[in-house]
Every structure is written in C-alpha cells, then in structure tokens.
Structure 1
Amino acid sequence: MTLPRQLALDLPPLTSFSREDFLVSPSNEGAYAFIERWPDWPARRALLIGPTGSGKSHLAAIWSEAAKAVIMPAGLLGDEAVPELVARGAVVLEDAQAGIDETALFHLLNLVGEAGASLLITAHEAPDRWGLGLPDLISRLRAMTVLTIDTPDDDLFRMLLVKLFLDRQLVVDTSVVDFLVRRIERSFDAARQVVAVLDREGLSRGRRITRALAGELLKEVLAQPDESE
C-alpha cells in the first residue's frame, strides 16, 4: 500500500543577515575584514565580487547597518536618483553586472568622491566583464578597491549547510552534512537547492532527513550519482 505524500508548503526559510550569523572562513575573511574597517576605506568606495549566493548581500547588509546606507538594486539606478543617494552619505548598489545605467553610475561615482560619501557595489564578476562601453566609467571602476569572495572551502561549506538547515528549523546528523560536502557542487547556490529539496521531499514523504534519503534525492531529484566510498 502506497501512503499519500503530505502537502509540502514552499515556505521561505528564515534567513538572518546579522553580523553574528555571517560565516567567516579563509574564502571570505579578507572581504569581511575590509567591511569591518569602515569608515577607514581608501576613497570610501569598494567593489564586492563573488558568485551568486556567496554572501555578498549578507556582507552588504552588515555594512549598510554600520554605515546607515541605503540599498538599491543597481538596475534601478538613474540620473534622477543620484543626488538623493549621495545626500544619504552611504550607498549599496546590488548586482551591478545584471545591467546598469552607465551614465548614472559615472555621475554617482564622481559625486560620491566629491561629497566624501561611501559606496559599495556588488557583482558576480569584475567590471571588465560587465559589457560596459563608457571608458571613463571603466577607468573609475578599475581604480576602486576590489573585495573578493571565493568558492567556499570545506569548513565554510560544512558550516553553510548546517546554517541552511537551521534556517529551515531542521536539525540533521553530521553524517548527512559530511555526505553532502563530498557529493554536491561546491557552490552556495547548489547548497541552497539541495537543502530546499531535502526539506520539501522529507516533509512530503514523511521521512527524517537522513544520509539514505539524501542519497536517494541526489539520484532521483537532483540527477547526481550517489558514489559510495
């Protein structure tokens, strides 16, 4: 007899962007240390570069709280917003690589420098790979301090998985975490996807999240082989 699956509601996890919840490791400690140094920044402008889900928004939120900065998606930046942003004294532009008004960003960089304001820009890659066409803007971006967040090392990836499970109010055995560290893609996005699938499927199947369930789901749902040691 096949038991019906429970209805799994796709509720968002409780994610904290507090300073206390930021996981520091060799892959991000340089960027974290620089953020903590504010307002002692060269020219008070910095670029924060790292892969999707790497903690850029978390670091930006930590800095925003300290600097009382306004946070804006870079795609919403326009010339009309520049004076007001500069007047706020501190600005975060998120995800600049996704598309940005080059003229407005050029004016923002100039006015931030003149006013002694602070600016933090986040992106997946360095400005040379944004497809920019304004030479003066490219030159100013290249002159900014660049902070990088690298692919997570073993310790950070393990801590990240534990945090993602706890964000969903799930407690799993260390054997599950160790199994996932060895099996899944070493990226923040992959970790989020796997934890979300384990949460949803564990609930719908009425099963605890175990190493066995993780192995099944890697094969069934995530189409990854479960290679036994």
Structure 2
Amino acid sequence: MRENAPPKQLAFDLPLDPRYGREDFLVGTANEAAYASIEAWPDWPDTVLVLTGPPGSGKSHLASIWATRAHAWTVSAADVTAEAVTHCVSNGALVIEDIDRPGRDEAALFHLLNLARERKCPVLLTSGAAIDQIGLTVADLRSRLRLAPGVAIREPDDALLRAVMVKLFVDRQLVVDLRVIDALALRIDRSLGRAREVVAELDRDALGRGRRITRPLALAVLERLGIAEGGEDGEEDGEDD
C-alpha cells in the first residue's frame, strides 16, 4: 500500500432527491414536443394525455411540472383500484404514473378515464413504452388510450445528453472536467437513464476511494459496468490527458 494513498472513505448509498422544478428541466430536440404539450395545458384537445418515453427520460419530471401547474394528485397505476376510482378524480386533476408496469387493474383504469371525462378532470398518464407495446388485455381501455392524444420523448441528442450529465454532477455537488463529460458521452448508450446510472456509480466510486472524478476513473467505471474499455495504464489523478 502506498504511504501517500488517501484514506478510504465509507460510501453510503443514500437516495438523492431529484429536483423536479420547471427550472430544472432541460429542453432539447428529444423532449421539446413533450414539454410543449405540458406547457399547452389547459388548452389540451382532450381530457387525457399519454406521455411515453424510456426509463430515466424525464417523464416523471414533466409529470411533476404539470402536477404543480394543474394542482394534480399523482398516483401509481398499480394504486388505481375499483374502490379508489372516485377518490382519485375528486381533486380535479390527476397524474397516473407507469401504466406499462405489472399490477395495474385495467378495468379500474378504464372506469377512471370514463369518470374523468364525465367530470372534465384532466389526466396525464405516463408509460415506458407505446400503448400497443404494453400488453393491455381490456380492449376498451386499449382503444381509449389509442385514441387519446399522446406525445413521446425520444432518445436524447448529443447536446442534451451532455447537458443532463453536467446537471446530474451539479445536483450531486460534484465538479468535473469537460473531458470527463466528453469521454462519457462518447461511450455510454444515448439514454438519460444510463447517464443517471453512470453518474451515480462515479459518485460512489470517487467517494469510496477519496478521489476526484477524472477521465481515467470514469473510463475504469465504464469498464466495470461493461460499457467501455478502461483508462490508460499508469495514469493517475494528476495525469488526466
């Protein structure tokens, strides 16, 4: 063991509270249509809007922005039961998250959408995949959601991916060189969910080692995650070329 090696710190896997304010949402070509749809409320063409996008793409952030504007409740699709339908629409606006996940009561969801339309209660639904891909078995619900206006978040372009990674590091009170951002952006999947995973892993790794986040460390973490080859041999924190 090197005499000057920094002491190893304990890395506690504490949850990071995401910031879901309107000012925290980064708009790019991948999500500008979705953001515009949220901003267009209350002038929606229907009481229902279906927001789709891959995990980590910003659906919950947009839903939170809309919930704040519309004074809406937010519930998981799994919590929409026959007994809860009337209560869910009693507030006047509702977000239903993750309708693509198992555990949903499709009959209750269909009843809720009908009641919401009757009471002119706006409903925003989020899904990790398109309606035709989530395996709905109740034909009436499938038809209702197919006919509802929908907007999708696409894969981020390079500029948005880099901007989001900078924000993720800033949210964790981490300052990194732009060369680290460049190295990550060139190697990870074009996915905001993947960006969050990598930044969290880098945060844990740097804290555990008592080191700052450098390009060689970033490449080593990517290698450990099975995403890319590691950094150059012999490079230390101070030799980050």
The equivalent position to 1:193 in structure 2, one of 193, 197, 215, is: 197
Distance change >3 Å, CA 116–CA 220, structure 1 → 2 = closer
Quote how far apart the aligned CAs of 1:221 are: 4.7
Give the letter for the 2:77 counterpart: A
Quote how far apart the aligned CAs of 1:219 are: 2.0
Quote how far apart the aligned CAs of 1:222 are: 4.2
**Residue matched to 2:58:** 55
Give the letter for the 2:95 counterpart: V
Q: Secondary structure at the match of 2:100?
A: helix
Q: Secondary structure at the match of 2:56?
A: coil
Q: Secondary structure at the match of 1:98?
A: coil
Unaligned runs of 5+ in 2: 233-241
Q: Say whether residues 1:82 and 2:74 are aligned partners.
A: no
The equivalent position to 1:181 in structure 2, one of 174, 180, 185, is: 185
State the alpha-carbon separation in 1 of the partners of residues 142 and 126 from structure 2.
15
| Residues 91 and 119 in structure 1, CA contact (< 8 A), matched pair in contact too | yes
State the alpha-carbon separation in 1 of the partners of residues 157 and 173 from structure 2.
24
Q: CA RMSD in A?
A: 1.5
Q: Say whether residues 1:203 and 2:207 are aligned partners.
A: yes
Q: Secondary structure at the match of 1:96?
A: coil
Which one is further off, 186-195 or 157-166?
Answer: 186-195
Residues 93-137 of structure 1: CA deviation (Å, up to 9, x unaligned): 000000311110110111111111100000011121221111111
**Residue matched to 2:155:** 151
State the alpha-carbon separation in 1 of the partners of residues 227 and 160 from structure 2.
25
The equivalent position to 1:142 in structure 2, one of 136, 143, 146, is: 146
State the alpha-carbon separation in 1 of the partners of residues 127 and 227 from structure 2.
30
| Residues 14 and 167 in structure 1, CA contact (< 8 A), matched pair in contact too | no
**Residue matched to 1:212:** 216
State the alpha-carbon separation in 2 of the partners of residues 144 and 118 from structure 1.
12
Quote how far apart the aligned CAs of 1:189 are: 1.9
Q: Say whether residues 1:37 and 2:28 are aligned partners.
A: no
State the alpha-carbon separation in 1 of the partners of residues 37 and 204 from structure 2.
38
For residues 114-133 of structure 1, the aligned pairs below 5 Å read 114-133=118-137
| Residues 172 and 209 in structure 1, CA contact (< 8 A), matched pair in contact too | yes
The equivalent position to 1:93 in structure 2, one of 81, 91, 96, is: 96
Unaligned runs of 5+ in 1: none
| Residues 74 and 93 in structure 1, CA contact (< 8 A), matched pair in contact too | yes
**Residue matched to 1:10:** 13
State the alpha-carbon separation in 2 of the partners of residues 38 and 44 from structure 1.
10
**TM-score, normalisation: structure 2:** 0.90
Give the letter for the 2:36 counterpart: A
Q: Which has the higher helix share?
A: 1
